[in-house]
Amino acid sequence: MKVLEISASGRRHDSTSRMLTAELIAALESRHDVIDVARRDLADNVPFVNDAWIAANFTAEETRSAEQRDTLAYSDALVSELRDADIIVMGVPVYNFSIPAVLKAWIDMISRARLTFRYTENGPVGLLQDKKAYIVVASGGVPVGSDYDFATPYLRHALAFVGITDIEFIAAEQLNSKRDESLDAARVQIADLVYTTPRLVGNLA
């Protein structure tokens, strides 16, 4: 069982989303015996799409120059680790009603035609199928699922676009006003999701 942990919080310490994703992974390890965990910390900075990246991405792979391959190397690495994962555990703080800029940059880097989705006569089809995603959402004031939560609908749509549709959101919401209550609820949800569902197998097949 391969797990990819993606941390989007700008806080290295005292991050609620990091704390809860660690607890979620510990629960998965307890439930599913041996798991292999890879970690991608977006606080290490994610490059933004620029002119050189766009030109390289839209050049056929077989005709890319060495420089273009270097330009896409980071994006290729992100796609590769996402492909390898059976389970994605993502920690997402809500910044100004939506996701952190580094997480949007990550989505831009992994949304690659012919690699993570393809176009068909019926529209785009995601290629990263048969994966499970747990997304821990931590917010200071925004109630998850409210009219001004623009983080979770976007993440659900963006991940489904590349084929990841089996998604569970764990909410640690309104932490500024009800921290203890919210953390307790998130931990109950983690336990319910991990321990009351059938044991997962590699590739979720």
Q: What would the pLDDT profile of 8-54 be if each residue is shown by its tens digit?
A: 999 999 999 999 999 999 999 998 877 899 999 999 999 999 999 99
Amino acid at 96: N
For domain 2-204, which CATH number applies: 3.40.50.360, 3.40.50.1820, 1.10.287.180, 3.40.50.720? 3.40.50.360
> CA-CA distance, 104 to 115, in Å (whole number)?
18
| Rounded distance between C-alpha atoms, residue 164 and residue 156, angstroms | 8
Q: For residue range 87-145, what is the model confidence (pLDDT) as tens digits? A: 999 999 999 999 999 999 999 999 999 999 999 999 999 999 999 999 999 999 999 99
Q: Which amino acid is at 179?
A: R
**Hunting for tokens 């391969």 — which residue is that?**
2
Q: What pTM does this model have?
A: 0.93
pLDDT digits (tens, 9 = 90+) for 133-192: 999 999 999 999 999 999 999 999 999 999 999 999 999 999 999 999 999 999 999 999
